[in-house]
Amino acid sequence: MDLAVVVGIDFIYAVATLALISIGLAIVFGMMRIINLAHGEFMVMGSYSAAVAVHHHVNIWIAILIVPPVVVAAIGAIIERVIIRRLYGRMVETMLATWGLSLFVVGILTMVFGDITEGVPTPIGGITIGSYQASGYSLFVIAMSIVTIAGVYLVLRTSRLGLLARGTMQNAEMAAALGVDTSRIYAVTFAFGAALAGLAGGILAPVSGVFPNIGGSYIGRAFITVIGGGPAALVGTISASTLFGVINQLATFASNPVYGEVALLAAAIILIRLLPQGITGRYFRGSL
Amino acid sequence: MIRGISRRTLLKSGAAATVFAPALVRRAAAAGDPILVGSMYDLSGGLEASGKPMYDVLNFAVSEMNDAGGLLGREVKVVSFDTQTNMQLYAQYAQEAALKNKVAVVHGGITSASREVIRPVLDKYKTLYFYDMPYEGGVCDRNIFIDGLTPAHNTQILAEYGLKTWGKKVYTLAADYNYGQITSDWVKKYVKDGGGEVLGTEFFPLDATNFGSTISKIQAAKPDWIMTILVGGGPISFYRQFNAAGLSGKIPIASTTFSGANEQLVLTPEESNGVVVAYNYLQTLDNPTNKDFLKRFHAKYGADYPPISDLTMASYQGMLLWAAGVKKAGGIDREKVIEALESGITIDAPSGAVTLDPQTHHCTFDVHLARMQDKQPVLIETFPQRKPADTAAVCDLKKNPREAKQYIIKVN
């Protein structure tokens, strides 16, 4: 029974991390249709900003939860202004530009911090469940994932900015005709997506360690989740994370983490074959 | 291939010039040209954190040699190749070092995979090779000398210590390439020999970062202790997640690799305290040679230089061994240097006496069992002059000098 609880936490944790690393991309790619191949590096910049803040004795919670989204949102806004703005509607060019950007960021991080693993201490200890131990931080990651998704839902659903963003993404010309400053909305939405990526990087920094190339291990899973989820950014991310996270963990428990990744990829291929538009292309249509 | 054939035909044709020309060149070089040493370390591309200090201590050894008047009166010059953690470059640079630079010896290669790329190339072009790294054992090749730990040096000690101190049930976590796979087989063998049982073995790529399910599986299996053979920046998170789950100190850990890449520096003391390691060299060793080495090294590279790990020290000691061989041979002729090295050469190194074993071309040296405490290895026990028994069981280069292969242990 105790083991079931511990294993259950592992499953939910896998789903929560998938959702967390995908939600920023769901906004940028799912809503704005920008193939941001530098999404992983946005997360890494979040992790590094958390690590730097911790080294400067900033309170660990501020370092993990506040610093990364603010820093990465600012960087995202600059990148939108300098690069992305010129490439709206040109998918292939955006792909090339963001891929170059990702190489650039990895290079800069390696130059500044060196190709070594930085650590951020885990702020929560273990918890005892019967005769087993579970990581308290895993529960924190799960909670933060839920809070983040709820926050995104509230912003998109209830705020004026969310309404304008959704309207602009659906039909930019119509929105512009109605007096919306669409280029500003695009910039803000992109920065919002970047902030979410930074937040994910900050939250995961204590678990995974921080090194320049770690973005590569995020980006694949993030894209698979967002594409598997389909057009509805939020419901898509949640449903695809749940499906892929559970399959990944089943295979991991049956064999090892390598086959867990293999199972995730195999599931994604089958899903896209059966539902080319993603889960929300068929089910939960019209949801957010 | 084309190059090989044309060379062979040339030799066959027996033109006197082709036989005499190299001899003339060699005599000219002996007049005082520098002795070239090839160094092949990954100074970028992923393993640079390990490669950089190895490169530094190698150059430190060479600079001290040159300050003392060089080797046999000749300056020693390092020809450096940055292999960028890229196997293709290893093959290319090994050829370049042997054919273009005509180096007297190549020091380098970090992963076992890279060693197996260079080894046949240097065999083919008859260029002496020193692999200065702990590895899984079994390489039997007259052209290569290895001064790193093999399983008989340290894995056996760790297994026996664990079985005696913690209990009979073991869980192994290993790196997913030849080093981790073969070493985990040695763990199985040593644990079985000691009357214990390996409950499970899991392999992880060098960038694996999620160990949640593994930690649950370990708890379900209830081992008495864990053996880690993990390599890479990602798997450092295992220790972090293990501690975050509150298991540090509850299930003890022994490791063949921990602190080899200074993992302890990026972890908190709570995350790394108590991990038991066994190495030939520890920076904390209390002997005059080591203290003197550290004083000289820190004077040149700064007192805040990261701790010198066993992996790093092997490059320094490898350089000293090779130089001792050259001195004894009185020249850099490959055959003569090999014979000199096979005469049972011993150096007084920072880790204690290091002796080359003529039969296997591996080393006999002290192995130190230590426990990590506040980011420092604290000595538990010294095992004096451990022999490379794993390789010696299958390899005898005195009897079969033409062998050039790696033996791999079979565990049933």
What length is written for chain B? 412
What does the block give as tokens for A282? 């068929």
Residue pair B204/A257 in contact (Cβ under 8 Å)? The answer is: yes
- Say yes or no: B307 and B199 in one domain: no
* Closest Cα in chain B to A133: B245
Residue pair A228/A268 in contact (Cβ under 8 Å)? The answer is: yes
- Say yes or no: B118 and B191 in one domain: no
Q: Which residues pair with B202 in a beta bridge?
A: B173
Task: Give the H/E segment covering residue B54.
Answer: helix B48-67
**Predicted confidence band at B188 (pLDDT cuts at 50, 70, 90)?**
very high
Q: Is residue B381 part of a domain?
A: no
Residue pair B355/B345 in contact (Cβ under 8 Å)? The answer is: yes
**Predicted confidence band at B10 (pLDDT cuts at 50, 70, 90)?**
very low
Q: Is residue B383 part of a domain?
A: no
Q: Which domains does chain A have, with CATH numbers?
A: 2-282 (1.10.3470)
* Residue B293 predicted with pLDDT over 80: yes
Other Cβ atoms within 10 Å of B362 Cβ, number: 30
Q: Does A115 touch chain B (CB under 8 A)?
A: yes
Sort out which chain A residues have CB atoms less than 8 A from B233's CB and list them. 116-117, 209, 211, 214
Residue pointed to by tokens 């242990």? B409
Q: Does B274 touch chain A (CB under 8 A)?
A: no
* Residue B21 predicted with pLDDT over 60: no
Q: Is residue B16 part of a domain?
A: no
A105 phi and psi angles, rounded to 5 deg? -65, -45
- Say yes or no: B119 and B78 in one domain: yes
Most A CBs within 10 Å, among B177, B217, B241, to test the A interface: B241
The arithmetic mean of pLDDT across residues B12-30, rounded, is 44
What is the distance, to the nearest Å, from the Cα of residue B108 to the centroid of all Cα atoms in its chain?
Answer: 9
CA contacts within 13 A on the Cβ side of B13: 10
Q: Is residue B258 part of a domain?
A: yes
Q: Is residue B20 part of a domain?
A: no
- Say yes or no: B199 and B267 in one domain: yes
Question: Of the candidates B232, B264, B279, which is a domain's last residue?
Answer: B279
Q: How high is the pLDDT of residue B93?
A: 96
Quick check: helix, strand or coil at residue B31? coil
A256 phi and psi angles, rounded to 5 deg? -150, 170
Q: Does A8 touch chain B (CB under 8 A)?
A: no
Lowest mean pLDDT among A9-23, B58-72, B201-215, B353-367: B201-215
The vertex-A239 CA angle with A236 and A241, nearest 5°, equals: 100
Q: How high is the pLDDT of residue B412?
A: 56
* Residue B9 predicted with pLDDT over 90: no
Residue pair A228/A18 in contact (Cβ under 8 Å)? The answer is: no
B113 Cβ partners below 8 Å, 6+ apart?
Answer: B87, B177, B178
Question: Shortest CB distance from B236 goes to which of A17, A115, A209?
Answer: A209
* Residue B5 predicted with pLDDT over 60: no
Q: In this structure, which amino acid lies at residue B258?
A: F
Distance from CA of A161 to the nearest CA of B (A): 36
Q: How high is the pLDDT of residue B8?
A: 47
The arithmetic mean of pLDDT across residues A178-186, rounded, is 92
- Say yes or no: B97 and B179 in one domain: no
d(CA A220, CA B123): 41
The arithmetic mean of pLDDT across residues A179-186, rounded, is 92
Q: How high is the pLDDT of residue B290?
A: 97
The arithmetic mean of pLDDT across residues B9-36, rounded, is 52
Quick check: helix, strand or coil at residue A135? strand
The pLDDT tens digits of the residues spanning A245-255 come to 999 999 988 88
Question: Of the candidates B262, B279, B296, which is a domain's last residue?
Answer: B279
CATH number of the domain to which B269 belongs: 3.40.50.2300
The pLDDT tens digits of the residues spanning B317-350 come to 999 999 999 999 999 999 999 999 999 899 999 9
d(CA A115, CA B44): 8
Q: How high is the pLDDT of residue B7?
A: 47
The pLDDT tens digits of the residues spanning A201-243 come to 999 999 888 888 889 889 999 999 999 999 888 999 999 999 9
B215 phi and psi angles, rounded to 5 deg? -65, -40
Q: Is residue B337 part of a domain?
A: yes
Q: Does B266 touch chain A (CB under 8 A)?
A: yes
Cβ within 8 Å, pair A133-B219: yes
* Closest Cα in chain B to A250: B213
What does the block give as tokens for B316? 């320094």
The complex's ipTM?
Answer: 0.81
First to last CA, chain B: 40
Domain range for B265 = 155-279
**Predicted confidence band at A132 (pLDDT cuts at 50, 70, 90)?**
confident
d(CA B216, CA B297): 44
A34 phi and psi angles, rounded to 5 deg? -105, 120
The rounded mean pLDDT for chain A is 91
- Say yes or no: B244 and B175 in one domain: yes
* Residue B14 predicted with pLDDT over 50: no
Q: How high is the pLDDT of residue A110?
A: 87
Distance from CA of A102 to the nearest CA of B (A): 16
- Say yes or no: B170 and B196 in one domain: yes
What does the block give as tokens for B245? 């789950």
The rounded mean pLDDT for chain B is 90
B232 Cβ partners below 8 Å, 6+ apart?
Answer: B175, B205, B206, B207, B208
DSSP label of A115: S
d(CA A261, CA B205): 11
Residue pair A201/A42 in contact (Cβ under 8 Å)? The answer is: yes
Q: How high is the pLDDT of residue B369?
A: 97
Please tell me the total count of domains within chain B: 2
Q: In this structure, which amino acid lies at residue A93?
A: E
Q: Is residue B204 part of a domain?
A: yes
What is the distance, to the nearest Å, from the Cα of residue B31 to the centroid of all Cα atoms in its chain?
Answer: 34
Cβ within 8 Å, pair B213-A257: yes
